């Protein structure tokens, strides 16, 4: 497995990470814990050193899963987790956002315990809190870094001005935001900003929540607790309309003796050397397939052809509902 530097922070991780949310949250019932431990440890065996979780995934159970699964590899892997949601302990779900400094520090202590680590490798603000100045958020994480409880500060789905303000208080090592061949809104302002500041991009949902694998068509149905049931891009009409993008990936994949998922990941990897995609999976065979993308080289001519073809495809449906854009923990 190749490695990459997340910006200029000195944080080196595997070129692909593993998004672990779906093991516990978001895509139907939590998966079998022992099976997920096997998947996580198989990822380590295949060279993955970068794992993504959050307190809100479960809540709490995803961090506990990683803590147990990665305990034998202490010091050999990088675990990213997140703060910033208000969690109701009775309902066991998030009921709002909360990035008050006292909550950030409380979450950090709890995450250290659940992850069984001495310091949090990368600690993201999960979503910007409009009620707490970002300077206070960055200051709270700076305190945790000075105390040795956090190594690197990150933001998720933050705007350019927020990133700059936070970075002026405490260096931001990584921005985690959705990025793929069908979610490219960050290319206009966000990616140039973080490139200027030396911040890496951790690309979540690089396979479009499964759509870019080519395995989802307009007849697809999802489980009762699957987030895709309410996402505008996963209505039968949107799936059918967006199939043109899958056709493009399949055509490139055929020429490269690869799969659509591998081409989708190779495209993200080819955009910048400091971008690290974190596809999620609960299956070892899909893990192996995804990891194969690292060895696929897309030439400049191939990238130009993909750009030209994809620019002619109008993506139907927003990635989230309007309400979820403000409050989602995904």
- Which residue numbers are catalytic? 57
Strand partners, 27: 226
Closest CA to 175 of 152, 197, 158, 192: 158
CA-to-CA distance for 170 and 188, rounded, in angstroms? Answer: 24
3-class DSSP string for 113-172 = HHHCCCCEEEEEECCCCCCCCHHHHHHHHHHHHHCCCEEEEEEECCCHHHHHHHHHHCCE
CA-to-CA distance for 174 and 157, rounded, in angstroms? Answer: 11
CA-to-CA distance for 47 and 40, rounded, in angstroms? Answer: 11
Which residues, other chains included, contact 241 with Cβ-Cβ below 8 Å and sequence gap of 6+?
314, 316, 317
Closest CA to 241 of 251, 250, 232, 254: 232
- Cα separation values, 104 from 65, 193, 271, 301, 329, Å: 21, 25, 33, 46, 16
Which residues, other chains included, contact 276 with Cβ-Cβ below 8 Å and sequence gap of 6+?
4, 6, 13, 14, 15, 16, 17, 50, 200, 201, 202, 203
Are 187 and 172 in contact by the 8 Å Cβ rule? The answer is: no
Helix (H) and strand (E) counts for the chain? 12, 12
CA-to-CA distance for 91 and 297, rounded, in angstroms? Answer: 47
Helix (H, G, I), strand (E, B) or coil at 202: strand
Structure tokens, 140: 């709270």
């Amino acid at each position: 497995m190749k490695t990459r530097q997340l910006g200029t922070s000195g944080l080196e991780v595997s070129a692909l990470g593993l998004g672990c949310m779906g093991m516990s949250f978001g895509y139907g019932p939590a998966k079998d814990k022992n099976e997920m431990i096997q998947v996580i440890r198989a990822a380590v065996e295949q060279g993955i050193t970068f794992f993504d979780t959050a307190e809100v995934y479960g809540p709490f159970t995803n961090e506990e899963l990683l803590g147990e699964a990665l305990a034998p590899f202490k010091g050999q892997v990088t675990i990213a987790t997140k703060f910033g949601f208000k969690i109701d302990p009775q309902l066991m779900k998030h009921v709002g956002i909360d990035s008050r400094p006292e909550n950030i520090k409380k979450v950090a202590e709890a995450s250290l315990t659940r992850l069984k680590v001495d310091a949090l490798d990368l600690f993201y603000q999960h979503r910007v809190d409009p009620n707490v100045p970002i300077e206070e958020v960055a200051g709270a994480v700076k305190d945790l870094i000075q105390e040795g409880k956090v190594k690197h500060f990150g933001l998720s789905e933050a705007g350019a001005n927020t990133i700059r303000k936070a970075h002026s208080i405490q260096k931001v090592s990584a921005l985690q935001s959705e990025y793929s061949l069908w979610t490219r809104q960050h290319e206009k302002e966000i990616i140039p900003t973080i490139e200027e500041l030396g911040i890496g991009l951790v690309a979540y949902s690089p396979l479009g929540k499964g759509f870019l694998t080519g395995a989802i068509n307009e007849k697809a149905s999802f489980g009762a607790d699957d987030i895709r049931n309410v996402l505008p891009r996963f209505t039968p009409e949107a799936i059918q309309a967006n199939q043109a993008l899958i056709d493009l990936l399949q055509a490139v994949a055929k020429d490269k003796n690869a799969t659509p998922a591998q081409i989708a990941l190779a495209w993200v990897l080819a955009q910048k050397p400091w971008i690290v995609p974190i596809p999620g999976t609960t299956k070892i065979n899909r893990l192996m397939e995804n990891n194969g993308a690292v060895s696929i080289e897309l030439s400049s001519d191939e990238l130009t052809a993909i750009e030209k073809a994809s620019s002619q495809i109008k993506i139907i449906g927003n990635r989230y509902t309007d309400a979820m854009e403000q409050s989602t923990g995904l």
